[in-house]
Amino acid sequence: MRRIFTALLLFVFFGTIACVSIASAEGRVARITNGDWPPFLGEHLPENGAISQVVRESFALKGIETRYGFFPWARALALAAEGKWDASVGWAFSEERARDFYFSDALVDLPVILFSRNDKKVEWKE
């Protein structure tokens, strides 16, 4: 159950940007990993989703171009943590991720809602 809750937090509390580095000094380009979570993030959404657009426009205000790469979530985080990409968008703060990343303020604040089947009792406390 704890794993399910952790996974829900990971995907539902999208709203922070985890940055390894802001941009390469010579090109002023931030290469950012991303994933699919419509309508907030998505490769095939207009502007790659609402959060992707906010991030792109925020970097543009500082003269930094953004380039998104779309990956499964675990790979998106790993590529940024390994320094193969500059940053990753859409992660909730956790102590574990904070060892590798800086976090912005939240871009969205969403409730956590647990859905379960009527015929399967789910035991949970919080």
What pLDDT shows up at residue 31?
97
Q: In what order do the strands lie in the sheet with 65-70?
A: 65-70, 29-34, 87-89, 17-19, 102-103
pLDDT tens for residues 7-61? 333 333 333 333 334 444 456 999 999 999 999 999 999 999 999 999 999 999 9
pLDDT value for 33: 97
What is the pTM assigned to this prediction? 0.69
In CATH terms, is domain 8-103 a member of 3.40.190.10?
yes
Structure confidence at residue 123 as a pLDDT band (50, 70, 90): confident
- Domain locations in the chain? 8-103
Tell me, letter by letter, the H, E, C secondary structure of 15-55.
Answer: CCEEECCCCCCCCCEEEEEECCECCCECCCCHHHCHHHHHH
